[in-house]
Amino acid sequence: MSGDIAILGVGMHPWGKWGKNFVEYGVHAGRAAIRDAGISWKDVQFVSGAATMRCGYPGYVAGATFAQALGWQGAEVNTSYAACASGSQALAAARTKILSGQCDVALVIGSDTTPKGFLKPAPGERPEDPDWVRFRLGITNPSYFALYARRRMEIYGDTQDDFALVKVKNAEHGFTNPNARYKKKFTAEDVAASAMVADPLRLMDICATSDGAAALIVSSLDYAKKIGRGDAVRVAAISTVTPTFASSIIEMPDLATDSAFAVEAQSFRASLPVKAYEEAGISPADVSVAEVYDLSTALEMDWYEDLQLCPRGEGAKLVREGATRIGGRIPVNPSGGLACFGEAVPAQALAQVCELTWQLRGQAGERQVENAKVGITANQGLFGHGSSVILKK
């Protein structure tokens, strides 16, 4: 039996700092997806919400919150939490429901209202949570990803100038994206002149926090054909694997000194697309376009290698050659990525799927990737969460 499901509709609320309730953003995105699908809200049988930990109890039960806001109509609900991979987990829940025959049509929504400054862990003492521990030690997200950046410089010879090229590329891509928060082009000199945040990452090397929302209407292939949408873009694979190394038995000094651990840790991200490629029955050579989690410019280059778009250590070469630009061999983040959007945690994995859907439909306007047929996403969340989604025409 095919594991594919159809994407009938996509919708977003533009990213920014609007200061409104996250439900308002989610309802906006959800209604846009319903309109795009050409169906009625009453046709939706399952609502799968991506949880937000910053918006109180309604955020913990996001599926029910959005179902109530759209108007109770009897749909079943679900809520998934996986930090930055929450949207993909919510999509995976909807896909399972559809493939099991328990529903034909599902709405998946992720939405967030974020505070200013760096993201903080939820209140309370959680010494068993390594992410809570690193925050407590002062290793905020920029500091955490600065360690990855420094590792690239040390092992592969990457430079800050290479990192800056990623920002320049993404800013160009997102310049005309109506849903992006930042629509401004930058030069490498602009990046180099921005303030140092966590050496070697400067302010323009890292993403902001934002408000925003994204939503999808997904269905069985039979339902899509029944309503005349047999040509809809399909979700061909979803991978949400966890790490394979036992981090709990490794002492803190080894995090910095044990190169074997560093290589093994990186295999977590690399294993995400492997499962997705196998499930979709494709290879990295088949990918037309990618949307990846660019919390930092250097991290984006890690993803090139993890997705096997180039050999290990050649991410910077890909950027220097212009291969990851629109018009290049393998465009990455044609939406502008988090560099142009910022983090709206439960929404960003779904925003990536929205962008790839528009790309595969040929509806991306000035940022359109020519002849896009296969797209892949990548996300990394706290506490061992991650995701990769593959879409096909």
How does pLDDT run across 375-389, given as a tens digit for each residue? 999 998 877 888 999
b/e string for 73-102 if b means 16 or more Cβ within 10 A? eebbbbbbbbbbbbbbbbbbbbbbbbeeee
Neighbours of 354 (CB within 10 A): 26
Q: Tell me, what's the pLDDT at 51? A: 97
Summarize the confidence of residues 235-253 as an average pLDDT. 69
In a domain, 124, yes or no: no
Summarize the confidence of residues 264-268 as an average pLDDT. 55
In a domain, 18, yes or no: yes
Show the tokens assigned to 162: 């290479």
Do 96 and 194 fall within a single domain? no
d(CA 392, CA 283): 13
Please report how many Cα atoms fall inside a 13 Å half-sphere around the Cα of residue 142, on the Cβ side: 18
Summarize the confidence of residues 77-106 as an average pLDDT. 97
Residue 220 gets which letter from DSSP? -
Do 59 and 157 fall within a single domain? no
pLDDT tens-digit map of 321-365:
999 999 999 999 999 999 999 999 999 999 999 999 999 999 999
Q: Tell me, what's the pLDDT at 122? A: 66
Q: Tell me, what's the pLDDT at 197? A: 96
Do 23 and 49 fall within a single domain? yes
> What sign has the CA pseudo-torsion 132, 133, 139, 142?
negative
Neighbours of 243 (CB within 10 A): 16
Do 175 and 203 fall within a single domain? yes
Name the residue with tokens 């509709």: 9
Work out the pLDDT band at 255, boundaries 50, 70, 90. Answer: very low
Do 24 and 70 fall within a single domain? yes
With 50 as the cut, is the pLDDT of residue 316 above it? Answer: yes
In a domain, 176, yes or no: yes
In a domain, 243, yes or no: yes
With 50 as the cut, is the pLDDT of residue 12 above it? Answer: yes
Do 193 and 243 fall within a single domain? yes
In a domain, 122, yes or no: no
Phi-psi region of 56 (alpha: psi -120 to 50; beta: other; left: phi over 0): left
In a domain, 125, yes or no: no
Single out the residue of 192, 208, 209 nearest to residue 200, CA to CA.
Answer: 192
Cβ-contact 44, 75 below 8 angstroms:
yes
Work out the pLDDT band at 266, boundaries 50, 70, 90. Answer: low
In a domain, 123, yes or no: no
Cβ-contact 235, 174 below 8 angstroms:
no
Task: Supply the range of the domain harboring residue 14.
Answer: 5-117+211-234
With 70 as the cut, is the pLDDT of residue 265 above it? Answer: no
Any idea which of 43-57, 79-93, 120-134, 316-330 has the lowest mean pLDDT? 120-134
How many residues comprise the chain? 393
d(CA 169, CA 379): 19
Do 260 and 202 fall within a single domain? yes
Do 99 and 184 fall within a single domain? no
Residue 145: its H or E element: helix 141-156
Any idea which of 8-17, 111-120, 137-146, 251-260 has the lowest mean pLDDT? 251-260
Residue 47: strand, helix, or coil: strand
d(CA 82, CA 74): 26
Work out the pLDDT band at 260, boundaries 50, 70, 90. Answer: very low
Number of domains in the chain: 2
Do 219 and 181 fall within a single domain? no
Summarize the confidence of residues 160-180 as an average pLDDT. 98
Q: Which of 234, 269, 290 is the last residue of a domain?
A: 234
Beginning with the edge strand found earlier in the chain, give each strand of the sheet holding 76-80 in spatial order: 76-80, 46-50, 105-112, 211-219, 5-16, 234-239, 386-392, 374-380, 289-292
d(CA 340, CA 172): 9
Neighbours of 348 (CB within 10 A): 31
Comparison of pLDDT for 260 and 144, the residue scoring more: 144
- Identify the CATH number of the domain in which residue 102 sits: 3.40.47.10
The CA-based dihedral angle spanning residues 348, 350, 353, 357, taken in that order and rounded to the nearest 10 degrees: -120
Spell out the residues 6+ positions from residue 87 whose beta carbon is closer than 8 angstroms to its own: 50, 108, 110, 214, 346, 347, 348, 349, 350, 351, 353, 379, 387
Q: Tell me, what's the pLDDT at 267? A: 62
Single out the residue of 4, 3, 21, 25 nearest to residue 13, CA to CA.
Answer: 25
Amino acid identity for residue 327 in this structure: G
The whole-chain average pLDDT of the chain stands at 92
In a domain, 320, yes or no: yes
Do 244 and 294 fall within a single domain? yes
- pTM equals 0.93
Do 305 and 326 fall within a single domain? yes
Do 174 and 56 fall within a single domain? no
**Burial grade of 138 (CB within 10 A; 0-12, 13-18, 19 or more):** exposed
pLDDT tens-digit map of 190-230:
999 999 999 999 999 999 999 999 999 999 999 999 999 99
